[in-house]
């Protein structure tokens, strides 16, 4: 079996509103994107396609991939204007594989165990996406912000990444949503839900596997970075200049 990860770093982080895009912000002494790259390097994934913004490919090649010796990064490709279009660019860059893992570059605290769980499910069911049970009560509201209904919390899950699929299945699903111009797609599971009848299997993620989205997430990430000590491990790989 061949495993390929698409790591997404082509967003502009509008909700973070920082000078540097959030995926390149400094966390524990390293650019944030180094954390997920480091974990995927340690995993059973064979190759990584890194998807970046238009003007960031050179920076990613020299200051991230070469500097920290992320040998599994085989390609750096330019993303699109929406997350799902960036994923599509990543999929187009894959020559052949069996399993595709799609991961947000803005989730620094993914673990090898979470990666493995999504892979096992994808091998068994065709799909395996990381998620955690909702802690808060979720409401559906109308446009005037009046509550319409309350889904049973026991059935509500917060989606994370990696979202992992058999290669032909995810290609087929993406081709369909692109062809049909379906919009407002916020994760890869949705692409399968919209495009195919295949059910999507949830696997255990982690409450630490946060997506750094707003400034307060960076404060939480700094605390997590301190306790995971990944930064110390990355240091060993850093090329001396
Ligand atoms: N992403 C991407 N291409 C896009 C949009 C997002 O590769 N056109 C990536 C981001 O870099 C991030 C992940 O998808 O790693 C999750 O997206 P999100 O948290 O929404 O990041 P941004 O789109 O950058 O942030 P915002 O929505 O606040 O602008
Ligand atoms: Mg976004």
Mean pLDDT check: name the lowest of 176-185, 196-205, 232-241: 232-241
- What are the helix and strand counts (H, E) for the chain? 8, 11
Q: Would you state the structure tokens that stand for residue 178, as one six-digit string?
A: 């692109």
Q: Decide whether any atom of ligand 1 lies within 6 Å of the 211 Cβ.
A: yes
Q: Decide whether any atom of ligand 1 lies within 6 Å of the 56 Cβ.
A: no
Which atom number of ligand 1 is nearest to the Cα of residue 106?
15
Give tens-digit pLDDT for 32-76: 999 999 999 999 999 999 999 999 999 999 999 999 999 999 999
Q: At residue 241, does pLDDT exceed 60? A: no
Return mean pLDDT, the chain.
95
- Torsion region of 54: left, alpha or beta (phi above 0 gives left; psi -120 to 50 gives alpha): alpha
CA distance 221 to 231: 12
Q: At residue 78, does pLDDT exceed 70? A: yes
pLDDT of 31: 97
Q: Decide whether any atom of ligand 1 lies within 6 Å of the 105 Cβ.
A: yes
Q: Decide whether any atom of ligand 1 lies within 6 Å of the 9 Cβ.
A: yes
Q: Decide whether any atom of ligand 1 lies within 6 Å of the 80 Cβ.
A: yes
Q: At residue 111, does pLDDT exceed 50? A: yes
For 138-191, the DSSP string reads --EE-TTS-EEE---GGG-EEEEEEEEEEHHHHHHHHHHHHHTT-----SHHHH
pTM of the model: 0.96
Q: At residue 80, does pLDDT exceed 50? A: yes
Out of 83, 110, 191, mutate this one to test ligand 1's pocket (max ligand atoms within 8 Å of CB): namely 83
Residue nearest to atom 6 of ligand 1 (CA): 11
- Confidence band, pLDDT 50/70/90 cuts, at residue 194: confident
């Amino acid at each position: 079996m061949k495993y390929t990860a698409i790591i997404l770093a082509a967003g502009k982080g509008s909700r973070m509103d920082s000078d540097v895009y959030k995926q390149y912000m400094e966390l524990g002494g390293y650019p944030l994107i180094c954390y997920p790259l480091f974990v995927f390097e340690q995993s059973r994934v064979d190759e990584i396609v890194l998807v970046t913004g238009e003007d960031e490919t050179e920076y990613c090649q020299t200051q991230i991939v070469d500097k920290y010796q992320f040998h599994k990064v085989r390609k750096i490709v330019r993303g699109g204007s929406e997350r799902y279009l960036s994923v599509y660019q990543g999929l187009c860059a894959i020559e052949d594989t069996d399993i595709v893992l799609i991961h947000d570059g803005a989730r620094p605290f993914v673990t090898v165990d979470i990666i493995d769980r999504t892979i096992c499910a994808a091998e068994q069911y065709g799909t395996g996406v990381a998620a955690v049970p909702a802690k808060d009560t979720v409401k559906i509201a109308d446009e005037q912000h009046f509550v319409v209904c309350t889904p049973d919390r026991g059935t509500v899950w917060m989606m994370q990444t990696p979202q992992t699929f058999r290669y032909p299945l995810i290609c087929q699903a993406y081709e369909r949503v692109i062809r049909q111009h379906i919009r407002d797609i916020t994760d890869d599971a949705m692409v399968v839900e919209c495009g195919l009848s295949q059910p999507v299997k949830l696997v255990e993620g982690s409450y630490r596997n946060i997506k750094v989205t707003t400034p307060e997430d960076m404060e939480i990430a700094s605390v997590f970075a301190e306790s995971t000590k990944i930064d110390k491990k990355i240091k060993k790989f850093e090329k001396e200049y």
